Structure 1
Amino acid sequence: MTTLYITGAGVSAESGIPTFRGEDGFWTIGSRNYTPQQMATRAMYMDNPLQFLKWYYHRFVTYRHHGPNSVHQWLADKNLITQNIDGLDGKAGNTDFISIHGRIDKMTIFHEQGEIVPIESAPWGQVDENNLTSSLLELFKIPHIGPQLNVSYKPHVLLFDEFYTELYGIDTAQKRMWDATKMVFMGTSFSVNITQMALDVARHKEIPVEVVDPSPAHILYDNVQYFPMTAKEYIDYVEQTNT
């Protein structure tokens, strides 16, 4: 049996990283003038790059040094697609996971979507918080007229108004979906395209699906089993069942 694990923000909650839609979630807290859904867009990056980078820095980059928890470690040898950009699966030792929404510790040259460009390390360690404005613009090579294609840099994260490309591993992710004989969704609210894409494949193939979450989202599919618990509790259950 080839099990595909698809994880969301709930898996990283025990590492001290906020989920997206909780009280202190990433998509709950925006900036003074914009909602998170407005902030996390390519349009905002292009029109107001400083506002975008400062929000991104304060809401995401400050968590870059957090470590993996026992769930990440359990998933270290698993067939895994994660929606999380925290990179904790890599820190836990998974060398073949797909970070379908990008990585907080990476950046790319600002390019037209669909182009294949190198993925580079982001210079967050060089940010001067005493001169945050000038530091961010300088490190991401953004002139006063705004981001320039093939000159400026952009955090390697899939934004709300962008689409999945092979730079994020979408072709490999889809192949893993079609090769799977079972799918396990852990800590996700099923509110992003990748989970719907995977569910469509599961329905088409009529393979079993498991949904793991303290408050699991109910999906329109007959061959599904719900586990209303944390990912850690689910792992304990699985290991006890298999012994």
Structure 2
Amino acid sequence: MTDSTSNLDQNGTLYITGAGVSAESGIPTFRGEDGYWTIGSHNYTPQEMATRHMYQHHPREFLRWYYHRFATYRHHGPNDVHHFLADKNLITQNIDGLDGKAGNPNYIAIHGRLDQMTIYHQQDQPVDIVAAPWDNVDTENLDNSLLALFNINGQPELYHSYKPFVLLFDEYYTDLYRISEAEQRMKSAERMVFMGTSFSVNITNMALEIARQRKIPVEIVDPNPVIVPYANTTYHRLRASDYIQTA
């Protein structure tokens, strides 16, 4: 795969962002009091809902939950942090697409994109990524409308039904999500800056391990930062919007 970072952030900094960056755009974080993970369905916890297993066996409830928890935020706009990152070498855990709306031409959305979907397929197989049909949803007949738009009759069928382009808890990183390119960007970085992330997902742990191996400096920007096991770390106990005023 061609390295596409040559025109981005010539000082060698790789930015890795999480849900805290989009909070100022009105999008709830995952683990805050109003976060996605604090609100489940009537019968399942959020950790159970956001799985391939739930999509496969309970697609009606999965799509309804996904629509209410994610798709209803699809028209929110980028904030000052997204605009600051628009010309930066960036990997985001967020699926909201706000970095693209801010003008970043080649950021990596390592967990997928809210505004996109794919044909339902076996993982690690190449498939096209297409626009998701959220604007065509009939909210007066929500369940049936979602099932029809995602080509689901009963249960999802491989290579017939559609699935939101989002990496679920029981799935793994593949090159559909540009994981090889993300790893290359980590290995090429001279500095890593983590913004608004809880270090609770594999991609941040992978990045931190590569930083330790390469002995490059790390900065963590968060009002309540996670303390990581790496000495060459600087903590900025700030919101990302305050940090960019001094960066």
Please report the TM-score for the alignment, with normalisation by the length of structure 2.
Answer: 0.95
Classify the secondary structure of the residue corresponding to 1:237.
Answer: coil
**Residue 185 of structure 1 pairs with residue 194 of structure 2:** yes
Classify the secondary structure of the residue corresponding to 2:82.
Answer: helix
- Aligned residue for 1:165? 174
Query: What does the per-residue CA deviation read over 1:59-82, in whole Å, with 9 as the maximum and x for residues that have no partner?
Result: 000000000000000000000000
The structure 2 residue matched to 1:136, chosen from 123, 146, 159, is 146
- Aligned residue for 1:241? none
C-alpha deviation, 1:208, in angstroms? 0.1
The structure 1 residue matched to 2:28, chosen from 18, 22, 36, is 18
C-alpha deviation, 1:152, in angstroms? 0.3
| Equivalent AA in structure 2 for residue 207 of structure 1 | I
| Equivalent AA in structure 1 for residue 193 of structure 2 | V
Number of residues paired by the alignment? 237
Q: Distance in 1 between matches of 2:165 and 2:159?
A: 14
Classify the secondary structure of the residue corresponding to 2:192.
Answer: strand
| Equivalent AA in structure 1 for residue 239 of structure 2 | T
The structure 2 residue matched to 1:44, chosen from 36, 40, 54, is 54
- Aligned residue for 1:63? 73
**Residue 210 of structure 1 pairs with residue 219 of structure 2:** yes
**Between the two proteins, what is the percent identity of the paired residues?**
66
Unaligned residue ranges in structure 1 (runs of 5+): 239-243
- Aligned residue for 1:122? 132
The structure 2 residue matched to 1:148, chosen from 148, 153, 157, is 157
C-alpha deviation, 1:222, in angstroms? 0.6
Q: Distance in 2 between matches of 1:234 and 1:43?
A: 39
Q: Distance in 2 between matches of 1:87 and 1:9?
A: 12
C-alpha deviation, 1:134, in angstroms? 1.0
**Residue 89 of structure 1 pairs with residue 99 of structure 2:** yes
Q: Distance in 2 between matches of 1:21 and 1:103?
A: 20
| Equivalent AA in structure 2 for residue 80 of structure 1 | L
Structure 1 runs (4+) deviating above 6 angstroms are none
Q: Distance in 2 between matches of 1:180 and 1:39?
A: 35
Q: Distance in 2 between matches of 1:182 and 1:165?
A: 25
Please report the TM-score for the alignment, with normalisation by the length of structure 1.
Answer: 0.97
**Residue 110 of structure 1 pairs with residue 120 of structure 2:** yes
| Equivalent AA in structure 2 for residue 43 of structure 1 | H
Q: Distance in 1 between matches of 2:18 and 2:41?
A: 23
C-alpha deviation, 1:223, in angstroms? 0.3
**Residue 235 of structure 1 pairs with residue 239 of structure 2:** no
